[in-house]
Every structure is written in C-alpha cells, then in structure tokens.
Amino acid sequence: MNPGIVSLAPVTLTLLLTFYSRNIILALFAGVFAGGILLDSAQGTLFAGINGIAAVFENSWCAKAILFVLMTGSLVHVIEQSGGVKGFVRLLTVKQRAVKSILGAEVLAYLLGMVLFVDTTVSIVVRGVAIRPLFDAHKGNREKLSYIIDSTSASVAFLSPATGAGAFLAALIGVQVSGGVISGDPFTLVLQAVPFQVYSMVSIVIAGLAIVGRKEVVSKGAVARQTEAESHPERSQGVPASGAVNMLLPLGLFIAGVFGLMVLTGDGSTSIFTGILLTLAVTGVFYTVRGVVDTQGYIAWCIQGMASYLEIALVLTLSFALSNLLNQLGTGAYLAGFGHHVHPALVPAMVFVGGALISFMSGTGGGTLSILVPISIPLAAAMDVNIPLVLGACGSGAVFGDHCSPISDTTILSAKVAGVGGMDHVRAQIPFALTGGTISFLLFLVLGLFR
C-alpha cells in the first residue's frame, strides 16, 4: 500500500484510546481493527485485521515470544507454589541479624534487584516482603525502599535479554525483519541494544549512588511508621530457609540454559524458548524427587501459571498484529518521508522523548514499545541511523516514562509493597527520575552524532 497520512490512523487511534481508557488491550484491538479496515479498502480484501491476528503465529519469533511469556508465568507460579519465594524470604529474615544497619538493608534491596531479573513483578514483591521489615527494624525510610525497588526492576529487565521484556522487544524487531524493513537476527539486535539502554543504566547507577551517598528520599506526605506486625505480611514460619533452593535452582538453570544454548546455537529465539522449556522440565523432576509436589500437581501449577499470564500474551499478540499491519500500511515509510526535515543525529533523542511521553501518559512500557518500535525502526532505517541505538532509545523512553507515571503498574506495586502512598512514592522518585532522564537525553544527543 502506498504510504499516506491515512496510514497514521491506526496508531493515532491506539494512542488516543490508551491515554483515554488506560486499557491497552482495548486500544491495541481498536488499532488492529482500524488497520484492517484500511487494508481491506486498499486491497479489496476482507477481515485483514482479524486474519492479521492469526498471522502473528506464522512468525516463529512472535510465536516463540508468546510461548516464552506463558512459560515464564508457569516458572514464576511453580516457584511460588513450591515455597521457593517464601523460603527465600525466610532465609533473608532468619539472617537479618547479618544486616546490622539501614545501609545494609538498602544494599540488599539493591542487589536483589539484580538477581531477580526474570520477572519484574516477582522482583518487586519479593523485595517488598523481604526487605520492608529490615527497613522498619532499622528505622529506615520506606519511600527510599520503594524508590530502590522501582528503580531496579524494569531497568534491570531491559538490560537482561533473557526476560519477557527482551523476548517482547525481539519479537517486535522480528516483525520488522520479516517485513523487509531491516535485516539481522532479532535477538542479536536486542543484545546489541543493551549498551544503548541508557536510562536503565543511568537509573541503576543513580540508585546506587543514592544508597552509598546516604541520600534520603522524603516526600511531603511521608507515611508514619507502622509496627512490624502491621508492616510485614505473613512470614511463612512453616517454610524452612532451605526452601530457598526451590527458587534459586530454577533461576540458575534458566540463566545457565539460555546463555549456554546461545553459545552453542547462536539462535536467540531458540535459546530463550528452549531454555525456559528445559528449566520447567528439570524443575518438575527436582520438585517431584524432593517431594514438593507430584507430577500431576506440577502440571496443574504450570497451567495455572500460564493462565495468570494470558493477559500479557494477549497484549503481545495484538502488538505484533498491529506492528504487521502498520508495516503493510506503510506508516513507518510515510513518517520516514519527513526525515529531510530532521537531522539524523537527533533521531535517538527524539525517540527517547516520544517514548517517555507515551509511557508517562499511558502507564505502560510494553504498550509504548508496541506503538513506538513499528514507527521508529523504519524511520531509523530510512535515515541510516544505528538500529540498536534507536532500540535503546525506545526502551529508555519506555522505562523513564514508566518511572515518572503515577498510573504505571510498577509504580503502584512498588509503593504498595513498601507501604507508602502512591503519590508519595512518585514525588520521592521524580527528582531522581528526571535527573536520569536529563542525563539520558543528553547522552542520546551525543550518541546520535556517532550514529
């Protein structure tokens, strides 16, 4: 289809509905439906939008990414059901005498964010449950805990390709590769983009400096201390600290499996897909031998875990369908036609700002990528701008906006598990996030010169 201004309609509708309804599934479906109608009218076909959703599974990268996310749900759920998370928390609380100061509690919260990278939600919840009583015991500032948790959850996920965020980004790139917009292996491009995930790295460094420099995080609405009994969820006294192996072993297997397969095969999609599949299989055998659960119960846990991630899988499916339709409509090519009005060196910084605005207003990093990648990659390709650099700008903008947004799921959850008000958390985090965003913007301007 010849690109034209009408090709902007699906993405415009998606953006408006995302901001207005705060429902990314509704917004993406509307965008796919609108794109299908435009494609039908141009090509004389029927149901291009609906068929586009089904066509997602014809792309191996997209299919593997969706299955990977579902199996991530299984892995998270079986670890939780096995007592692995509670055992890990118990291990930390039993050892809390080793944490002799608030500095030790802050460092522990920070380091755990690096370890619990597979799933953002698990990273946030485990650290809130495990570290919050340590903060209270040492009269620490809960708002600082919520800041540390939030700053080292999504940021770490975007620096770790073997995560749902990495698989999602790789699949969006895969759509661009299959559409002939760019060439290369999607997972390799994700790896190459890691050094350009500027905001994620800057935010992690700033959080570390805030800890080491003893920078306090206080908002005007600071919450009064509660007693430990009020602040600490049930401690799971019946779960021995040794149960932590039920969490540590699967995570270790997954990390080793993915990167081991990458070395052996060089195929990113196969590595993350096979890695998590093997992890689930070996974990099932381990739990069965250890008497944690029988085979039938383990399979039931896996299915329940997948069910809890169906919404995420649906978001991915609709995102990939919209990306495909935008390629066919020529949306990226149309926008690339305006490239002569913009210096190529400014593209990474512009993408970063655009991503931050979308993420801030929508409260969803994943939804931001599903809108931004199909537009920015064709633009970068047409203007001969470094693709990994632009991918880094996409991810950086999504995380930056997410950190500043009061309606972001990670913002809300981080505040909740730390025991502070949502806006108290936002007001406390904003100065650090804006500092990181400003530094990142300037770095993208500099990096754009060496595109």
The per-residue pLDDT for range 28-58, each reduced to its tens digit, is: 889 899 888 888 887 767 778 888 888 888 8
Share of the chain above pLDDT 70, in %: 87
The answer to the question of residue 293 being in a domain is yes
Q: How many domains does the chain have?
A: 1
Average pLDDT over residues 81-102: 73
* pLDDT at residue 223 in the model: 43
The answer to the question of residue 69 being in a domain is yes
* pLDDT at residue 236 in the model: 41
Place of tokens 């004389």: 44
**Integer angstrom CA distances of residue 130 from 120, 133, 135, 321, 367:** 16, 7, 10, 40, 30
Cβ distance 150 to 429 under 8 Å?
yes
* pLDDT at residue 96 in the model: 53
The domain containing residue 170 runs over which residues?
5-222+237-449
The answer to the question of residue 250 being in a domain is yes
The answer to the question of residue 228 being in a domain is no
The per-residue pLDDT for range 407-448, each reduced to its tens digit, is: 787 888 888 878 888 788 888 899 999 999 999 999 999 999
* pLDDT at residue 389 in the model: 96
Q: Which of 83-92, 134-143, 332-341 has the highest mean pLDDT?
A: 134-143
The full DSSP string for 301-351 is HHHHHHHHTHHHHHHHHHHHHHHHHHHHHTHHHHHHTTGGGS-GGGHHHHH
Average pLDDT over residues 9-25: 82
Confirm whether pTM is higher than 0.85.
no
The answer to the question of residue 232 being in a domain is no
What is the band of 226 on the pLDDT scale with cuts at 50, 70, 90? very low
The answer to the question of residue 230 being in a domain is no
Average pLDDT over residues 8-12: 84
The DSSP letter of residue 117 is -
What the block records as the tokens of 254 is: 């997954």
The answer to the question of residue 137 being in a domain is yes
The answer to the question of residue 20 being in a domain is yes
Q: Distance between alpha carbon 432 and the CA centroid of its chain, in Å?
A: 20
pLDDT value at 227 more than 50:
no
Top-confidence residue, 271 or 145: 145
* Planar angle of CA 425, 430, 431, nearest 5 degrees: 125
* pLDDT at residue 268 in the model: 67
